[in-house]
Structure 1
Amino acid sequence: MTGITFTPIGTVHSPFRDPRDMPIQSIGARGVRGTVELDPAYAPGLKDLTGFSRIILLYHFHRTEGYALEVVPFLDKVPHGVFATRAPRRPNAIGLSILKLVAVEGPTLTVEDVDILDGTPVLDIKPYVPAFDAFPNERAGWLARSMEDARTVRSDDRFC
């Protein structure tokens, strides 16, 4: 395989400066406000985004190094394959969060439910469409027994 190169289109600004003790999922960050500051060259790509209440933000876990194919995730005490988790130390350190879109002003998005480290490079933005993106009755594997804990569990330094 050949390498793939991504160029960030912007940066996340959030109240979280240290990866320790931050929410591990956006459900645990309800109401936490932040911004996504795009490079102004990409601002025309935001046209019509205000019609959506949520966005899918794809970003680079820029503070992780290396990866492990088996990890002990925040919501369990036993190892799982990294692809059965949302752990940040992955072969391609790409994160995904579904955020509430509050406002679009020029190249800046104001968002809520931010569970992302300040300064995180943004790779892409997609609209969240409930009819396409929500499958509430599907299986959640090992997470089924601990999903509610995502509201209160905080990160630590295991993936730094």
Structure 2
Amino acid sequence: MIPYIFAAPSIIYISAVQICPIGTFYGDAVYKYDAPRQGRLFAGHPGRIVLNPGMNFETALRDLDGFERLWVIFQFHENAGWRPTTRPPVPPKGKDRVGTFASRSPYRPNPIGLSCVRLLKVEGLTLYVDEADLLNGTPVLDIKPYIPMADAFPDAKAGWVEDQERDLWNIETTPDFDERIQWLRENSPFDILSFVEIQLTRGPFDDTRRRLEIDETAKTGVLAYRTFRVDFSYDELSRKIVLTSLRSGYTPEELYSPEDKYGDKKIHNEFIEKFR
């Protein structure tokens, strides 16, 4: 019989063997679109792994602080079900979808992920990391050191990835956008600029993205981040995107309503008052 994995809130059962998470990852990425597709491509996505107490993990962490990178094995706790094929963010030429086992898709038969993060420091049972592509609250199943001598194969063939169309864009900002994003960074937990870089740097006009509206005639677009909206212009010839402004996604009527589903109307009203 082939073992089948199914998830419970705190334990994963594999036939008669049980796997218990050893800890939890905490970071700013709450929604799937907050996390970079590959953490290494976007530095500035820090977080921390807090290991469970009472398991003698303090001893297990001994000698780890000499490593620069770690393999983190984790559970895709927000996913349900799997798909035999997936559409890559940057598809290869002549293909729209590839097989799941030939991809890094999170929608897998067993909800297990693997990420190589940069270790910043270890304090007690807490590991501070960067370049993480995990969501806040992700159960961590295991940690292993990254060993370049054994883990790096820079000359290895990469299959269809070598045939990807490299749709890379440069991101620039205007003074107005800079002022608004700086105010929001200082007065809220939202990391909008990082989100924009994730969404627009590689293949920005992927038609599977639901948070993007494009006006091909005016060469402008609007990217939605939760209840905020980022306005931008773009030039296809130079592969350049200019972030022109940041604004609230609420209408005046919605802000006037006492309902506050996301608990963020206060910051929106202050933002609008600041930049009216």
Q: State TM-score, norm by structure 2.
A: 0.53
Matches within 5 A, 1:14-53: 14-40=27-53, 41=55, 42-53=57-68
In structure 2, the CA distance between the partners of 1:149 and 1:65, relative to structure 1 (3 Å rule), is farther
Task: List structure 1 segments (4+ residues) > 3 angstroms apart after TM superposition.
Answer: 145-157
- What percent identity do the matched residue pairs reach? 41
SS at match of 1:142: helix
Task: Indicate the structure whose relative CO is greater, using CA pairs within 8 Å and at least 6 residues apart.
Answer: 1
Superposed CA offset, 1:107-151 (max 9, x none): 100001011111100010000000000000111111123396697
Residue matched to 1:79? 97
Please say if residues 23 and 139 of structure 2, whose CA atoms lie closer than 8 Å, have aligned partners that are also in contact: yes
Where do 5+ consecutive residues of structure 1 fail to align?
A: none
Measured after TM superposition, the shift of residue 20 of structure 1 is: 1.6
Quote the RMSD (CA, aligned, Å): 2.3
Pair 1:94–1:127, CA change in 2 (3 A):
same
Cα distance in 1 between the residues matched to 2:51 and 2:40 = 24
Please identify, of 70-79 and 14-23, the stretch whose mean Cα deviation from structure 2 is larger: 70-79
- The runs of 5 or more residues in structure 2 that have no matched partner are 5-13, 169-197, 211-276
Q: Give the distance between the partners of 1:66 and 1:97, measured in 2 at CA.
A: 20
How many residue pairs match? The answer is 157
**Residue 139 of structure 1, aligned match among 127, 138, 157:** 157
Matching residue of 1:102: 120
C-alpha distance in structure 1 between counterparts of 2:165 and 2:148, whole Å = 20
Q: Is the 8 A contact 1:19 1:156 kept in 2?
A: no
Give the number of the structure whose alpha-carbon radius of gyration is greater.
2
Measured against aligned partners, the alpha-carbon deviations of 1:64-106 in whole angstroms (never above 9, x if no partner) come to 1000111112222611110000000000111111111110111
Which segment drifts farther, 148-157 or 67-76? Answer: 148-157
2:72 equivalent to 1:57: yes
My pick for the range that moved more, 73-82 or 104-113, is 73-82
Separation in 1, partners of 2:41, 2:209: 14
Which residue does 2:3 correspond to in 1? Answer: 2
